[in-house]
Structure 1
Protein backbone atom coordinates (compact mmCIF):
# COMPACT_ATOMS: atom_id res chain seq x y z
CA UNK A 1 0.00 0.00 0.00
CA UNK A 2 1.32 3.38 -0.98
CA UNK A 3 1.42 6.04 1.71
CA UNK A 4 -1.26 8.67 1.09
CA UNK A 5 0.07 12.18 0.79
CA UNK A 6 -2.83 13.84 2.58
CA UNK A 7 -2.39 15.94 5.70
CA UNK A 8 -5.67 14.58 7.07
CA UNK A 9 -4.12 11.12 7.06
CA UNK A 10 -1.14 12.29 9.07
CA UNK A 11 -2.24 14.33 12.10
CA UNK A 12 0.21 16.69 13.76
CA UNK A 13 2.32 15.31 16.65
CA UNK A 14 1.59 11.74 15.53
CA UNK A 15 3.42 12.24 12.24
CA UNK A 16 5.85 14.93 11.15
CA UNK A 17 6.20 17.05 8.03
CA UNK A 18 9.15 18.47 6.13
CA UNK A 19 8.00 21.98 6.99
CA UNK A 20 8.05 21.20 10.71
CA UNK A 21 11.51 19.67 10.52
CA UNK A 22 12.89 22.64 8.60
CA UNK A 23 11.56 24.90 11.34
CA UNK A 24 13.81 23.06 13.82
CA UNK A 25 16.76 24.98 12.36
CA UNK A 26 16.07 27.92 14.68
CA UNK A 27 16.86 25.72 17.69
CA UNK A 28 20.34 24.89 16.36
CA UNK A 29 21.76 28.40 16.69
CA UNK A 30 22.64 28.95 20.32
CA UNK A 31 23.53 25.53 21.67
CA UNK A 32 26.94 24.63 23.05
CA UNK A 33 26.13 20.91 22.92
CA UNK A 34 28.36 20.11 25.87
CA UNK A 35 27.06 18.07 28.76
CA UNK A 36 26.25 20.15 31.82
CA UNK A 37 26.73 17.21 34.13
CA UNK A 38 30.18 15.97 33.17
CA UNK A 39 32.98 16.76 30.80
CA UNK A 40 32.31 15.45 27.33
CA UNK A 41 34.25 16.20 24.18
CA UNK A 42 32.76 19.11 22.31
CA UNK A 43 29.73 17.23 21.07
CA UNK A 44 28.24 19.03 18.09
CA UNK A 45 30.30 21.96 19.25
CA UNK A 46 31.74 22.98 15.90
CA UNK A 47 35.39 23.38 15.04
CA UNK A 48 37.56 20.85 16.80
CA UNK A 49 41.05 21.95 17.75
CA UNK A 50 43.94 19.51 17.71
CA UNK A 51 47.33 20.37 19.16
CA UNK A 52 50.22 20.34 16.73
CA UNK A 53 53.96 20.75 17.01
CA UNK A 54 54.44 23.27 14.28
CA UNK A 55 52.67 26.04 12.46
CA UNK A 56 48.89 26.16 12.67
CA UNK A 57 46.00 28.55 12.59
CA UNK A 58 45.69 29.49 16.26
CA UNK A 59 48.16 30.07 19.05
CA UNK A 60 47.64 27.48 21.80
CA UNK A 61 50.31 27.90 24.52
CA UNK A 62 53.99 28.36 25.37
CA UNK A 63 55.77 25.43 27.01
CA UNK A 64 59.24 24.05 27.56
CA UNK A 65 61.04 22.99 24.40
CA UNK A 66 61.41 19.23 23.95
CA UNK A 67 63.55 17.39 21.44
CA UNK A 68 61.74 17.11 18.13
CA UNK A 69 59.91 20.45 18.33
CA UNK A 70 60.21 22.72 15.31
CA UNK A 71 62.95 25.23 16.11
CA UNK A 72 61.07 27.84 14.06
CA UNK A 73 58.48 27.92 16.85
CA UNK A 74 60.92 28.75 19.64
CA UNK A 75 59.71 31.78 21.59
CA UNK A 76 62.97 33.72 21.93
CA UNK A 77 61.55 36.40 24.20
CA UNK A 78 60.32 33.90 26.78
CA UNK A 79 63.52 31.90 26.36
CA UNK A 80 65.67 34.98 27.05
CA UNK A 81 63.61 35.97 30.05
CA UNK A 82 63.50 32.54 31.70
CA UNK A 83 66.91 31.26 30.52
CA UNK A 84 65.06 28.07 29.49
CA UNK A 85 64.18 27.28 25.89
CA UNK A 86 60.43 27.61 25.25
CA UNK A 87 58.40 26.85 22.15
CA UNK A 88 55.03 27.95 20.93
CA UNK A 89 52.28 25.38 20.33
CA UNK A 90 49.66 26.08 17.71
CA UNK A 91 46.34 24.47 16.89
CA UNK A 92 44.53 23.90 13.65
CA UNK A 93 40.91 23.42 12.79
CA UNK A 94 40.12 19.77 12.36
CA UNK A 95 37.10 18.58 10.44
CA UNK A 96 34.49 16.65 12.43
CA UNK A 97 32.06 15.00 10.00
CA UNK A 98 28.86 13.74 11.57
CA UNK A 99 26.57 10.79 10.92
CA UNK A 100 23.08 11.02 12.41
CA UNK A 101 21.21 7.72 12.78
CA UNK A 102 17.51 8.13 13.48
CA UNK A 103 15.12 5.31 14.35
CA UNK A 104 11.74 5.34 12.59
CA UNK A 105 10.77 1.75 13.34
CA UNK A 106 7.53 0.46 14.86
CA UNK A 107 8.59 0.76 18.50
CA UNK A 108 8.97 4.51 17.94
CA UNK A 109 5.35 4.84 16.79
CA UNK A 110 4.01 5.42 20.26
CA UNK A 111 2.96 8.41 22.33
CA UNK A 112 0.57 8.70 25.23
CA UNK A 113 0.19 12.45 25.81
CA UNK A 114 1.75 14.93 23.40
CA UNK A 115 3.77 13.46 20.53
CA UNK A 116 4.97 10.11 19.28
CA UNK A 117 8.56 9.06 19.87
CA UNK A 118 9.09 8.93 16.11
CA UNK A 119 8.17 12.64 15.77
CA UNK A 120 10.50 13.64 18.61
CA UNK A 121 13.32 11.58 17.07
CA UNK A 122 12.79 13.30 13.73
CA UNK A 123 12.96 16.74 15.37
CA UNK A 124 16.17 15.83 17.18
CA UNK A 125 17.74 14.58 13.95
CA UNK A 126 16.87 17.86 12.21
CA UNK A 127 18.35 20.01 15.01
CA UNK A 128 21.55 17.95 15.09
CA UNK A 129 21.95 18.10 11.30
CA UNK A 130 21.51 21.87 11.16
CA UNK A 131 23.89 22.38 14.08
CA UNK A 132 26.67 20.41 12.40
CA UNK A 133 26.19 22.21 9.09
CA UNK A 134 26.28 25.62 10.79
CA UNK A 135 29.70 24.74 12.20
CA UNK A 136 30.97 24.04 8.68
CA UNK A 137 31.30 20.27 9.00
CA UNK A 138 29.98 17.54 6.72
CA UNK A 139 26.79 15.83 7.85
CA UNK A 140 25.08 12.67 6.66
CA UNK A 141 22.35 10.42 7.95
CA UNK A 142 20.86 6.97 8.20
CA UNK A 143 17.11 6.46 8.60
CA UNK A 144 16.31 3.11 10.16
CA UNK A 145 12.84 1.70 9.45
CA UNK A 146 11.36 -1.77 9.83
CA UNK A 147 11.67 -2.75 6.20
CA UNK A 148 14.52 -0.67 4.81
CA UNK A 149 17.27 1.76 5.65
CA UNK A 150 18.19 4.98 3.88
CA UNK A 151 21.82 6.11 3.78
CA UNK A 152 23.08 9.58 2.89
CA UNK A 153 26.82 10.08 2.93
CA UNK A 154 28.16 13.10 4.84
CA UNK A 155 28.36 16.25 2.73
CA UNK A 156 28.85 19.92 3.47
CA UNK A 157 25.67 20.78 1.62
CA UNK A 158 22.29 22.05 2.80
CA UNK A 159 20.61 20.07 0.03
CA UNK A 160 21.96 16.90 1.60
CA UNK A 161 20.18 17.76 4.84
CA UNK A 162 17.00 18.40 2.88
CA UNK A 163 17.24 14.94 1.29
CA UNK A 164 17.92 13.42 4.71
CA UNK A 165 14.85 15.06 6.24
CA UNK A 166 12.72 14.03 3.27
CA UNK A 167 13.73 10.41 3.93
CA UNK A 168 12.87 10.83 7.61
CA UNK A 169 9.40 12.15 6.74
CA UNK A 170 8.83 9.36 4.22
CA UNK A 171 9.75 6.61 6.72
CA UNK A 172 7.77 8.37 9.43
CA UNK A 173 4.62 8.27 7.32
CA UNK A 174 5.12 4.62 6.47
CA UNK A 175 4.50 3.82 10.13
CA UNK A 176 0.77 4.09 9.39
CA UNK A 177 0.93 1.01 7.17
CA UNK A 178 1.63 -1.54 9.90
CA UNK A 179 4.09 -3.65 7.94
CA UNK A 180 5.65 -6.71 9.50
CA UNK A 181 9.09 -6.17 10.97
CA UNK A 182 12.49 -7.35 9.80
CA UNK A 183 14.20 -5.13 12.33
CA UNK A 184 16.89 -7.56 13.47
CA UNK A 185 18.23 -8.12 9.96
CA UNK A 186 18.13 -4.41 9.20
CA UNK A 187 20.12 -3.64 12.32
CA UNK A 188 22.94 -5.85 11.06
CA UNK A 189 22.79 -4.15 7.66
CA UNK A 190 22.84 -0.75 9.34
CA UNK A 191 25.93 -1.68 11.33
CA UNK A 192 27.71 -2.69 8.14
CA UNK A 193 26.76 0.61 6.48
CA UNK A 194 27.99 2.61 9.46
CA UNK A 195 31.26 0.72 9.50
CA UNK A 196 31.83 1.58 5.84
CA UNK A 197 31.06 5.27 6.36
CA UNK A 198 32.64 6.01 9.73
CA UNK A 199 36.41 5.77 9.85
CA UNK A 200 37.82 8.00 12.60
CA UNK A 201 37.25 11.45 14.09
CA UNK A 202 33.54 11.30 13.31
CA UNK A 203 30.62 12.34 15.46
CA UNK A 204 27.94 9.63 15.50
CA UNK A 205 24.56 10.60 16.94
CA UNK A 206 22.15 7.70 17.44
CA UNK A 207 18.51 8.65 18.20
CA UNK A 208 16.21 5.83 19.27
CA UNK A 209 14.23 4.35 22.16
CA UNK A 210 16.76 1.46 22.21
CA UNK A 211 13.99 -1.07 22.83
CA UNK A 212 15.11 -3.66 20.33
CA UNK A 213 18.87 -3.34 20.41
CA UNK A 214 20.74 -6.59 20.95
CA UNK A 215 24.00 -6.96 22.89
CA UNK A 216 25.77 -7.29 19.53
CA UNK A 217 24.55 -3.84 18.50
CA UNK A 218 25.67 -2.34 21.80
CA UNK A 219 29.11 -3.90 21.29
CA UNK A 220 29.21 -2.39 17.83
CA UNK A 221 28.40 1.06 19.24
CA UNK A 222 31.25 0.78 21.74
CA UNK A 223 33.65 -0.27 18.97
CA UNK A 224 32.72 2.80 16.94
CA UNK A 225 33.55 4.88 20.00
CA UNK A 226 37.20 3.77 19.93
CA UNK A 227 38.07 6.29 17.20
CA UNK A 228 35.02 8.55 17.18
CA UNK A 229 32.68 10.55 19.39
CA UNK A 230 29.34 8.85 19.99
CA UNK A 231 26.22 10.38 21.53
CA UNK A 232 23.07 8.38 22.26
CA UNK A 233 19.73 10.17 22.57
CA UNK A 234 17.10 7.94 24.15
CA UNK A 235 13.51 8.99 23.44
CA UNK A 236 11.00 7.95 26.10
CA UNK A 237 7.28 8.35 26.75
CA UNK A 238 5.75 8.91 30.23
CA UNK A 239 3.55 5.83 29.90
CA UNK A 240 6.69 3.68 29.63
CA UNK A 241 7.60 4.75 33.15
CA UNK A 242 4.38 5.59 34.98
CA UNK A 243 1.17 3.59 34.68
CA UNK A 244 -2.03 5.66 34.93
CA UNK A 245 -3.97 5.00 38.17
CA UNK A 246 -6.83 3.22 36.38
CA UNK A 247 -7.72 -0.08 34.76
CA UNK A 248 -7.05 -0.10 31.03
CA UNK A 249 -6.46 -2.43 28.10
CA UNK A 250 -3.12 -2.42 26.31
CA UNK A 251 -2.02 -4.43 23.33
CA UNK A 252 -0.42 -4.71 19.94
CA UNK A 253 -1.65 -6.22 16.70
CA UNK A 254 -1.60 -9.73 18.20
CA UNK A 255 -2.22 -9.55 21.95
CA UNK A 256 -4.30 -7.54 24.42
CA UNK A 257 -4.04 -7.50 28.20
CA UNK A 258 -5.90 -5.74 31.00
CA UNK A 259 -3.67 -3.73 33.34
CA UNK A 260 -4.81 -2.64 36.79
CA UNK A 261 -3.16 0.72 37.26
CA UNK A 262 -4.94 1.12 40.58
CA UNK A 263 -2.60 -1.49 42.03
CA UNK A 264 0.07 0.66 43.71
CA UNK A 265 2.50 -2.25 44.01
CA UNK A 266 2.25 -2.95 40.29
CA UNK A 267 2.73 0.72 39.45
CA UNK A 268 5.85 0.89 41.65
CA UNK A 269 7.32 -2.27 40.12
CA UNK A 270 6.68 -0.86 36.67
CA UNK A 271 8.38 2.45 37.47
CA UNK A 272 11.29 0.77 39.24
CA UNK A 273 11.83 -1.53 36.26
CA UNK A 274 12.03 1.41 33.87
CA UNK A 275 14.43 3.33 36.13
CA UNK A 276 16.65 0.29 36.58
CA UNK A 277 16.84 -0.46 32.85
CA UNK A 278 17.68 3.17 32.05
CA UNK A 279 20.28 3.38 34.81
CA UNK A 280 21.94 0.13 33.71
CA UNK A 281 22.03 1.36 30.11
CA UNK A 282 23.62 4.66 31.10
CA UNK A 283 26.18 2.96 33.34
CA UNK A 284 27.10 0.52 30.58
CA UNK A 285 27.61 3.35 28.10
CA UNK A 286 29.46 5.53 30.62
CA UNK A 287 32.11 2.84 30.93
CA UNK A 288 32.95 3.54 27.30
CA UNK A 289 32.69 7.32 27.59
CA UNK A 290 29.40 7.47 25.68
CA UNK A 291 26.86 10.00 26.99
CA UNK A 292 23.18 9.05 27.01
CA UNK A 293 20.73 11.94 26.79
CA UNK A 294 17.10 11.23 27.70
CA UNK A 295 14.41 13.19 25.85
CA UNK A 296 10.69 12.71 26.51
CA UNK A 297 7.69 13.09 24.20
CA UNK A 298 5.93 15.75 26.30
CA UNK A 299 8.27 18.70 26.90
CA UNK A 300 9.51 20.89 24.03
CA UNK A 301 12.61 19.40 22.44
CA UNK A 302 14.56 22.65 22.51
CA UNK A 303 13.99 23.11 26.25
CA UNK A 304 15.21 19.59 26.94
CA UNK A 305 18.32 20.16 24.84
CA UNK A 306 19.06 23.34 26.79
CA UNK A 307 18.91 21.39 30.02
CA UNK A 308 21.06 18.55 28.70
CA UNK A 309 23.72 20.54 26.85
CA UNK A 310 23.45 24.14 28.00
CA UNK A 311 23.03 27.18 25.79
CA UNK A 312 25.62 29.55 24.40
CA UNK A 313 25.51 33.27 24.93
CA UNK A 314 23.90 35.26 22.13
Structure 2
Protein backbone atom coordinates (compact mmCIF):
# COMPACT_ATOMS: atom_id res chain seq x y z
CA UNK A 1 0.00 0.00 0.00
CA UNK A 2 1.49 3.35 -1.07
CA UNK A 3 1.73 6.37 1.23
CA UNK A 4 -1.11 8.24 -0.50
CA UNK A 5 -3.35 5.17 -0.24
CA UNK A 6 -2.58 4.84 3.46
CA UNK A 7 -3.38 8.52 4.08
CA UNK A 8 -6.62 8.18 2.11
CA UNK A 9 -7.66 5.07 4.05
CA UNK A 10 -6.87 6.67 7.42
CA UNK A 11 -8.87 9.78 6.50
CA UNK A 12 -11.81 7.62 5.41
CA UNK A 13 -11.78 5.79 8.73
CA UNK A 14 -11.57 9.06 10.67
CA UNK A 15 -14.55 10.52 8.80
CA UNK A 16 -16.57 7.30 9.10
CA UNK A 17 -15.98 6.98 12.83
CA UNK A 18 -16.22 10.65 13.83
CA UNK A 19 -20.02 10.76 13.99
CA UNK A 20 -20.25 7.46 15.88
CA UNK A 21 -17.58 8.59 18.32
CA UNK A 22 -18.99 12.03 19.06
CA UNK A 23 -22.68 11.07 19.07
CA UNK A 24 -22.55 7.64 20.65
CA UNK A 25 -19.36 6.56 22.34
CA UNK A 26 -17.53 9.50 23.89
CA UNK A 27 -20.05 10.25 26.62
CA UNK A 28 -20.49 6.62 27.56
CA UNK A 29 -16.72 6.07 27.56
CA UNK A 30 -16.29 9.00 29.94
CA UNK A 31 -18.98 7.87 32.37
CA UNK A 32 -17.88 4.22 32.25
CA UNK A 33 -14.18 4.69 32.94
CA UNK A 34 -13.44 8.18 34.24
CA UNK A 35 -12.81 8.37 37.94
CA UNK A 36 -12.79 4.62 38.51
CA UNK A 37 -9.09 4.65 39.36
CA UNK A 38 -8.03 6.18 42.69
CA UNK A 39 -4.67 7.64 43.71
CA UNK A 40 -3.32 8.62 47.12
CA UNK A 41 -3.63 12.33 47.96
CA UNK A 42 -2.90 12.92 51.68
CA UNK A 43 -3.37 11.70 55.25
CA UNK A 44 -5.65 13.56 57.68
CA UNK A 45 -7.24 12.90 61.11
CA UNK A 46 -10.20 10.54 61.18
CA UNK A 47 -13.64 12.16 61.02
CA UNK A 48 -16.98 10.64 61.89
CA UNK A 49 -18.35 8.82 58.84
CA UNK A 50 -14.96 7.98 57.27
CA UNK A 51 -14.62 4.43 55.98
CA UNK A 52 -12.71 2.11 58.30
CA UNK A 53 -10.80 0.61 55.36
CA UNK A 54 -9.25 4.06 54.68
CA UNK A 55 -7.48 4.14 58.07
CA UNK A 56 -3.70 4.52 57.86
CA UNK A 57 -2.75 2.06 60.58
CA UNK A 58 0.95 2.97 60.63
CA UNK A 59 0.29 6.66 61.31
CA UNK A 60 -2.55 5.79 63.68
CA UNK A 61 -0.19 3.64 65.77
CA UNK A 62 2.55 6.29 65.70
CA UNK A 63 0.35 9.19 66.89
CA UNK A 64 -2.10 7.08 68.91
CA UNK A 65 -5.11 8.64 67.22
CA UNK A 66 -6.86 7.56 64.01
CA UNK A 67 -5.74 8.92 60.65
CA UNK A 68 -7.22 8.11 57.25
CA UNK A 69 -5.81 8.11 53.73
CA UNK A 70 -7.50 10.57 51.40
CA UNK A 71 -7.84 9.29 47.85
CA UNK A 72 -8.71 11.24 44.73
CA UNK A 73 -10.07 10.12 41.39
CA UNK A 74 -7.67 9.65 38.54
CA UNK A 75 -8.86 12.09 35.89
CA UNK A 76 -6.48 10.85 33.23
CA UNK A 77 -6.52 7.34 31.85
CA UNK A 78 -4.15 5.41 29.63
CA UNK A 79 -5.68 3.24 26.93
CA UNK A 80 -3.65 0.41 25.39
CA UNK A 81 -4.65 -1.21 22.09
CA UNK A 82 -3.27 -4.75 21.80
CA UNK A 83 -3.76 -5.97 18.24
CA UNK A 84 -3.21 -9.48 16.90
CA UNK A 85 -1.32 -9.38 13.58
CA UNK A 86 -1.19 -13.13 12.99
CA UNK A 87 -2.18 -14.14 9.45
CA UNK A 88 -5.69 -15.26 10.42
CA UNK A 89 -6.56 -11.61 11.14
CA UNK A 90 -5.68 -10.57 7.57
CA UNK A 91 -8.80 -12.19 6.19
CA UNK A 92 -12.43 -11.47 5.46
CA UNK A 93 -15.33 -12.62 3.30
CA UNK A 94 -17.86 -9.99 4.39
CA UNK A 95 -17.70 -6.24 3.78
CA UNK A 96 -14.08 -5.80 4.90
CA UNK A 97 -11.01 -7.57 6.20
CA UNK A 98 -10.72 -8.19 9.92
CA UNK A 99 -7.69 -5.87 10.05
CA UNK A 100 -9.71 -3.00 8.50
CA UNK A 101 -12.59 -3.64 10.89
CA UNK A 102 -10.16 -3.62 13.84
CA UNK A 103 -8.69 -0.32 12.62
CA UNK A 104 -12.17 1.21 12.56
CA UNK A 105 -13.03 0.07 16.08
CA UNK A 106 -9.60 1.20 17.30
CA UNK A 107 -10.27 4.61 15.74
CA UNK A 108 -13.60 4.93 17.58
CA UNK A 109 -12.27 4.06 21.02
CA UNK A 110 -9.03 5.95 20.34
CA UNK A 111 -10.78 9.17 19.37
CA UNK A 112 -13.09 8.76 22.39
CA UNK A 113 -9.99 8.61 24.59
CA UNK A 114 -8.37 11.56 22.81
CA UNK A 115 -11.56 13.58 23.25
CA UNK A 116 -11.30 12.98 26.99
CA UNK A 117 -7.61 14.00 27.03
CA UNK A 118 -6.41 10.45 27.68
CA UNK A 119 -3.27 8.79 26.35
CA UNK A 120 -3.45 5.93 23.84
CA UNK A 121 -0.74 3.39 23.07
CA UNK A 122 -0.44 0.46 20.64
CA UNK A 123 1.14 -3.00 20.75
CA UNK A 124 1.14 -5.21 17.65
CA UNK A 125 1.69 -8.88 18.44
CA UNK A 126 1.50 -12.46 17.19
CA UNK A 127 3.88 -15.11 18.55
CA UNK A 128 5.84 -12.18 20.05
CA UNK A 129 5.60 -8.42 20.31
CA UNK A 130 6.39 -6.86 16.95
CA UNK A 131 5.81 -3.14 17.49
CA UNK A 132 5.14 -0.80 20.38
CA UNK A 133 3.95 2.81 20.20
CA UNK A 134 4.07 4.40 23.67
CA UNK A 135 0.92 6.14 24.95
CA UNK A 136 0.48 9.76 23.92
CA UNK A 137 -2.38 12.24 23.62
CA UNK A 138 -3.99 13.86 20.62
CA UNK A 139 -5.69 13.29 17.29
CA UNK A 140 -2.46 13.13 15.28
CA UNK A 141 -1.22 10.34 17.51
CA UNK A 142 -4.42 8.34 16.88
CA UNK A 143 -3.98 8.81 13.12
CA UNK A 144 -0.41 7.48 13.41
CA UNK A 145 -1.71 4.44 15.30
CA UNK A 146 -4.28 3.75 12.57
CA UNK A 147 -1.59 3.98 9.91
CA UNK A 148 0.49 1.39 11.77
CA UNK A 149 -2.47 -0.97 12.08
CA UNK A 150 -3.27 -0.75 8.37
CA UNK A 151 0.34 -1.15 7.18
CA UNK A 152 1.40 -3.90 9.60
CA UNK A 153 2.96 -7.02 8.08
CA UNK A 154 0.69 -9.84 9.18
CA UNK A 155 2.78 -12.88 10.11
CA UNK A 156 2.18 -16.64 9.66
CA UNK A 157 2.49 -17.46 13.35
CA UNK A 158 0.25 -18.36 16.27
CA UNK A 159 -1.08 -15.44 18.31
CA UNK A 160 0.15 -15.59 21.91
CA UNK A 161 -2.19 -13.31 23.85
CA UNK A 162 -0.49 -14.31 27.11
CA UNK A 163 2.90 -13.18 25.78
CA UNK A 164 1.64 -9.70 24.90
CA UNK A 165 -0.16 -9.34 28.25
CA UNK A 166 2.99 -10.33 30.12
CA UNK A 167 5.02 -7.84 28.09
CA UNK A 168 2.53 -5.04 28.71
CA UNK A 169 2.51 -5.66 32.46
CA UNK A 170 6.32 -5.56 32.58
CA UNK A 171 6.61 -2.31 30.61
CA UNK A 172 3.46 -0.33 31.48
CA UNK A 173 3.05 -0.39 35.25
CA UNK A 174 0.23 2.14 35.56
CA UNK A 175 -3.28 0.70 35.56
CA UNK A 176 -4.66 1.06 32.04
CA UNK A 177 -7.78 0.42 30.03
CA UNK A 178 -6.77 -2.42 27.69
CA UNK A 179 -8.57 -3.37 24.47
CA UNK A 180 -7.20 -6.66 23.12
CA UNK A 181 -8.23 -7.45 19.52
CA UNK A 182 -7.84 -11.03 18.28
CA UNK A 183 -9.79 -13.95 16.86
CA UNK A 184 -8.55 -16.01 19.86
CA UNK A 185 -7.94 -19.08 17.72
CA UNK A 186 -4.77 -20.06 19.58
CA UNK A 187 -3.91 -21.33 23.06
CA UNK A 188 -2.89 -19.02 25.92
CA UNK A 189 -1.92 -19.13 29.60
CA UNK A 190 -5.07 -18.54 31.68
CA UNK A 191 -3.03 -17.61 34.76
CA UNK A 192 -1.46 -14.62 32.97
CA UNK A 193 -4.91 -13.58 31.77
CA UNK A 194 -6.15 -13.51 35.38
CA UNK A 195 -3.13 -11.53 36.58
CA UNK A 196 -3.52 -8.98 33.76
CA UNK A 197 -7.22 -8.53 34.52
CA UNK A 198 -6.40 -7.77 38.17
CA UNK A 199 -3.83 -5.15 37.24
CA UNK A 200 -5.68 -3.53 34.35
CA UNK A 201 -9.22 -3.00 33.05
CA UNK A 202 -9.13 -5.64 30.32
CA UNK A 203 -11.60 -6.11 27.46
CA UNK A 204 -11.06 -8.96 25.03
CA UNK A 205 -12.57 -8.29 21.61
CA UNK A 206 -12.96 -11.37 19.42
CA UNK A 207 -13.17 -10.22 15.81
CA UNK A 208 -14.51 -12.92 13.53
CA UNK A 209 -15.76 -13.54 10.01
CA UNK A 210 -18.81 -15.71 9.29
CA UNK A 211 -16.57 -18.36 7.75
CA UNK A 212 -14.64 -18.67 11.01
CA UNK A 213 -17.68 -20.29 12.60
CA UNK A 214 -19.33 -22.16 9.73
CA UNK A 215 -18.07 -23.63 6.46
CA UNK A 216 -20.44 -23.70 3.45
CA UNK A 217 -20.90 -26.69 1.17
CA UNK A 218 -18.38 -26.18 -1.64
CA UNK A 219 -17.53 -29.83 -2.25
CA UNK A 220 -13.95 -31.05 -1.85
CA UNK A 221 -11.69 -28.14 -0.92
CA UNK A 222 -8.07 -27.66 0.07
CA UNK A 223 -7.82 -25.85 3.40
CA UNK A 224 -4.66 -24.16 4.64
CA UNK A 225 -4.00 -22.87 8.13
CA UNK A 226 -2.96 -19.24 7.65
CA UNK A 227 -0.68 -19.36 10.69
CA UNK A 228 0.97 -22.78 10.49
CA UNK A 229 0.76 -23.37 6.73
CA UNK A 230 -0.66 -26.86 7.31
CA UNK A 231 -2.89 -28.08 4.48
CA UNK A 232 -5.60 -30.73 4.21
CA UNK A 233 -8.37 -31.76 1.84
CA UNK A 234 -11.89 -31.65 3.26
CA UNK A 235 -15.22 -32.84 1.92
CA UNK A 236 -17.39 -29.84 2.83
CA UNK A 237 -20.42 -31.61 1.32
CA UNK A 238 -20.50 -33.76 4.45
CA UNK A 239 -23.24 -32.34 6.68
CA UNK A 240 -21.71 -34.14 9.64
CA UNK A 241 -18.28 -32.59 9.07
CA UNK A 242 -19.80 -29.08 8.78
CA UNK A 243 -21.84 -29.64 11.94
CA UNK A 244 -18.83 -30.89 13.92
CA UNK A 245 -16.72 -27.96 12.72
CA UNK A 246 -19.39 -25.44 13.80
CA UNK A 247 -19.83 -27.13 17.18
CA UNK A 248 -16.09 -27.18 17.78
CA UNK A 249 -15.92 -23.45 17.07
CA UNK A 250 -18.85 -22.77 19.41
CA UNK A 251 -17.15 -24.65 22.23
CA UNK A 252 -13.87 -22.84 21.63
CA UNK A 253 -15.54 -19.42 21.79
CA UNK A 254 -17.52 -20.44 24.85
CA UNK A 255 -14.28 -21.50 26.53
CA UNK A 256 -12.63 -18.15 25.81
CA UNK A 257 -15.67 -16.26 27.14
CA UNK A 258 -15.59 -18.32 30.33
CA UNK A 259 -11.87 -17.72 30.78
CA UNK A 260 -12.38 -13.95 30.55
CA UNK A 261 -15.39 -14.08 32.86
CA UNK A 262 -13.45 -16.14 35.44
CA UNK A 263 -10.63 -13.59 35.22
CA UNK A 264 -13.15 -10.75 35.87
CA UNK A 265 -12.34 -9.28 32.45
CA UNK A 266 -14.76 -8.06 29.79
CA UNK A 267 -15.30 -9.92 26.53
CA UNK A 268 -17.06 -9.06 23.28
CA UNK A 269 -17.73 -11.25 20.26
CA UNK A 270 -17.96 -9.02 17.16
CA UNK A 271 -18.66 -10.06 13.59
CA UNK A 272 -17.12 -7.95 10.81
CA UNK A 273 -20.67 -7.02 9.74
CA UNK A 274 -21.87 -5.95 13.21
CA UNK A 275 -22.66 -2.42 14.35
CA UNK A 276 -19.69 -2.24 16.72
CA UNK A 277 -20.64 1.26 17.97
CA UNK A 278 -23.94 -0.05 19.31
CA UNK A 279 -22.23 -3.03 20.97
CA UNK A 280 -19.58 -0.81 22.58
CA UNK A 281 -22.26 1.63 23.75
CA UNK A 282 -24.13 -1.22 25.44
CA UNK A 283 -20.93 -2.51 27.04
CA UNK A 284 -19.97 0.94 28.37
CA UNK A 285 -23.46 1.44 29.80
CA UNK A 286 -23.25 -1.85 31.71
CA UNK A 287 -20.09 -0.59 33.40
Determine if the TM-score, normalized by the shorter chain, exceeds 0.5: yes
Task: Name the counterpart of 1:204.
Answer: 178
Task: Name the counterpart of 2:81.
Answer: 100
Task: Name the counterpart of 1:231.
Answer: 203
Which of 35, 40, 49 is the equivalent residue of 1:64? Answer: 49
Counterpart-to-counterpart distance in 2, 1:140 and 1:219:
24
Task: Determine if the alignment matches structure 1 residue 46 to structure 2 residue 34.
Answer: yes
Within a 5 Å distance, the mapping from 1:287-298 to structure 2 comes to: 287-298=262-273
Unmatched tracts of structure 2, length 5 or more: 57-69
Counterpart-to-counterpart distance in 2, 1:91 and 1:147:
37
Task: Determine if the alignment matches structure 1 residue 260 to structure 2 residue 236.
Answer: yes
The answer (yes or no) to whether the contact 1:53–1:69 under 8 Å persists in 2 is: no
Within a 5 Å distance, the mapping from 1:215-226 to structure 2 comes to: 215-216=188-189, 218-226=190-198
Which one has a larger percent helix, Structure 1 or Structure 2? 2
Within a 5 Å distance, the mapping from 1:6-85 to structure 2 comes to: 17-23=9-15, 24-29=17-22, 30-31=24-25, 45-48=33-36, 50=38, 64-65=49-50
TM normalised by structure 2 equals: 0.74
Cα distance, 1:269 vs. partner? 1.5
The answer (yes or no) to whether the contact 1:250–1:258 under 8 Å persists in 2 is: yes
Q: Secondary structure of the equivalent of 1:125?
A: helix
| Cα RMSD after superposing both structures | 3.7
Within a 5 Å distance, the mapping from 1:156-305 to structure 2 comes to: 156-171=137-152, 174-175=153-154, 181=156, 190-191=164-165, 193-212=167-186, 214-216=187-189, 218-247=190-219, 249-252=221-224, 255-261=231-237, 263-305=238-280
Cα distance, 1:283 vs. partner? 0.8
Cα distance, 1:48 vs. partner? 3.2
Aligned CA distance change for structure 1 residues 99 and 289 (closer, same or farther; 3 Å): same
Counterpart-to-counterpart distance in 2, 1:288 and 1:248:
41
Counterpart-to-counterpart distance in 2, 1:271 and 1:134:
41
The answer (yes or no) to whether the contact 2:129–2:164 under 8 Å persists in 1 is: no
Task: Determine if the alignment matches structure 1 residue 153 to structure 2 residue 134.
Answer: yes
Counterpart-to-counterpart distance in 2, 1:66 and 1:114:
53
Task: Name the counterpart of 1:74.
Answer: none
Residues 86-122 of structure 1: CA deviation (Å, up to 9, x unaligned): xxx9853443211111123211012122222121112
Counterpart-to-counterpart distance in 2, 1:66 and 1:231:
31
Unmatched tracts of structure 1, length 5 or more: 11-15, 35-41, 56-61, 71-88
The answer (yes or no) to whether the contact 2:128–2:163 under 8 Å persists in 1 is: no
Answer with 147-156 or 237-246: which moved more. 147-156
Q: Secondary structure of the equivalent of 1:267?
A: helix
Residues 30-75 of structure 1: CA deviation (Å, up to 9, x unaligned): 22658xxxxxxx75x33436498979xxxxxx973567879xxxxx
Counterpart-to-counterpart distance in 2, 1:196 and 1:146:
17
TM normalised by structure 1 equals: 0.69
Counterpart-to-counterpart distance in 2, 1:191 and 1:52:
26
Counterpart-to-counterpart distance in 2, 1:93 and 1:148:
29
Task: Name the counterpart of 1:125.
Answer: 106
Q: How many residues are treated as equivalent by the alignment?
A: 262
